[in-house]
Structure 1
């Protein structure tokens, strides 16, 4: 195993455009870091620079403290798992897994090859498939073979380039769990590229969010979710996406600070109001689960929120949860910001609608007007001009990442004792 350090890494192509622009990341020995972002954000380019398949235009790359900018891929001792598996169709599963050991001519005896391949196959539940050819395997089994080939190399780190993108949704879920279990069991430094935020949030010790080649934030999944650095991170992380409701910080008739929005007044805690009071307009970041039907909120919690009334345009029932949709008239001062955000996230236009989480047993339907309670303590206010999160608590976010590191360490220790 080894640490990986990226110092001000830059990648420019012939036209001078920086596909990766001044990215610095310290990846600890045994850490699992995810690179996530929309198409074209530079995440795969960054991975390819780490493994040596792309030259580094500027900056330094260190593996185990040693500069490797000029080293060939074979000299970096990194194992890469590709999305298309890169298996040899004419070789058996055994020989596909053994292939890296066969390349190191004379380094391993036949007994050593058999022992390592059988150990990897047992770990990956492939023992009964060792004599089969890749063409006779399922997508999930093929991906496990590709991972077995990485395991037998005793590499300093594993690099994953969207390894689950060719699998269906059910298999992706199974393989996510498999990769997580293996990484904890082997405790190998891992860098994993994906555009799927579910993979990012469930797998990573830390997640690096990239936009147009620039690192936006790197933190634990929970810190990204609860204390996003800017509008892009807040919008990209979370499903359904965070709502961005335009509003102006004012004082209501009762003398309390509030946010005046197209859906009415939302009373704010004083510290949130203070952060946005000097702005002509702000975007309130409100996740769907911050809402509840007012009639279902316990009395002791009511003081930590505010109530608005709104008409539902339609409702989506998903079995264990339910989402309501509320349309509203957008403020022209934020239209351009939201359009740019949608383009940055590689998505369709951000529609002027609020998505609210409802109890799965609720019988409300489209056309109903309901009272919604919103937990105002968890709202974030963003500056539409800069995208900055005006209400981010950096210390609270850092504490979330610290606690996540502790939890992962404890989890790995448990896994090691089982193995």
Structure 2
């Protein structure tokens, strides 16, 4: 396995455009790091720089402490799983998996090749498909074949370039689980590129959020969600997205288009240098139909009347929509943010989470409770999160680190116990697992 260090990496094309602009990231040995961001943010380019398919304009790339900028891809001992699987249609599943071993020109005997292929097939539940051709497999099975080809190489790290984007939603969920379990069992360093934040939040030890070639924040999924560093990260992470509502400070309340919101005590001291108009960041789950809120919680938030345009009932959850008149003073910033997030516009509406039993419907006015303790306040011009608690965020990432390491250890103990019962060898991988030495929210 390998630790991968990116030091001030830059990739400029002939026209001078920096697709990757001064990115520094330490990937710990055994860590699962996700690169995420909208289209054109530079995430795939960065991955290709690591594997050697893109030249590095400036900066240093080190694998296990060795500078590899000038090394060919085959000399970096990294294994890449592509979006289109890159399988050979005329070869069987067995021969597709064995292909990189046969390329080694005599380095492996037929017995060694057969052992490695069958071990990978067993790990990926492909034993019944070894004689089939890729065209006769499902999308998920083809993806597992591509992963099997990566496994047999005994590479120092796996690199995934949007491997699930060609699958339907149900199969993506299944493959996410399989990839996560495989990475835990093998404890192999992995870099995974996706534009799907659900993949990012469910797979990664840490997630690096990119925008226009620049690193915005790198942290555990929970830290990104609860302590985003700026408007972009807050808007990109979370589904439905965070609501951004313009507000003016008037004494102890925020005056907003949806009503007056009491300013929490923890927020008051952070507004000293705030501009005249700020943006409140409120996630849908920060709201609730006041009828379903415990009386003890009511004083910790604000209750106000809102008219709903419509609601969406999804069985186990429900969302309500409140429209309001946008403040022209922040419209340009929200339009800019929408473009950065690959959206056409930022609608002047608030999405609120409602209890599935709530009878609120479109066209009705109802009392809504907001847990104002959980709000964020952003400077609309700089995008800075004025209420971010960096220490609390770093603690979330440290906790996630420990939880992941313990989870990997439990997985290995289970595999070891099964191997002892069957007489088979346990899956390889001898590192500490994800997160040993992984940093907190701040990039180096």
**TM-score category by the smaller chain?**
over 0.9
Partner of 1:294: 290
Aligned pairs (5 A) from 1:2-401: 2-251=2-251, 257-277=252-272, 278-401=274-397
SS in 2 for 1:177: helix
Gaps of 5+ in 1: 252-256
SS in 2 for 1:351: coil
SS in 1 for 2:268: helix
The alpha carbon displacement at 1:191 in A equals 0.1
The alpha carbon displacement at 1:301 in A equals 1.1
Residues 24-70 of structure 1: per-residue CA shift (max 9 Å, x gap): 00000000000000000000000000000000001000011100000
Distance 1:333 1:409 in 2: 47
Partner of 2:421: none
The alpha carbon displacement at 1:281 in A equals 0.5
Contact 2:292–2:355 under 8 Å retained in 1 = no
The alpha carbon displacement at 1:334 in A equals 0.5
Distance 1:276 1:292 in 2: 26
Partner of 1:415: 411
The alpha carbon displacement at 1:267 in A equals 0.4
Residues 95-147 of structure 1: per-residue CA shift (max 9 Å, x gap): 00011110111111111111110000000000000000000000000000000
Contact 2:308–2:362 under 8 Å retained in 1 = yes
Distance 2:266 2:276 in 1: 17
The alpha carbon displacement at 1:274 in A equals 2.8
The alpha carbon displacement at 1:299 in A equals 1.5
The alpha carbon displacement at 1:300 in A equals 1.5
Residues 375-394 of structure 1: per-residue CA shift (max 9 Å, x gap): 11110000001000000000
Distance 1:319 1:68 in 2: 52
User: TM (normalized to structure 1)?
Assistant: 0.98
Deviates more, 1:292-301 or 1:198-207: 292-301
Aligned length: 414
CA RMSD in angstroms, aligned pairs only: 0.7
Partner of 1:254: none
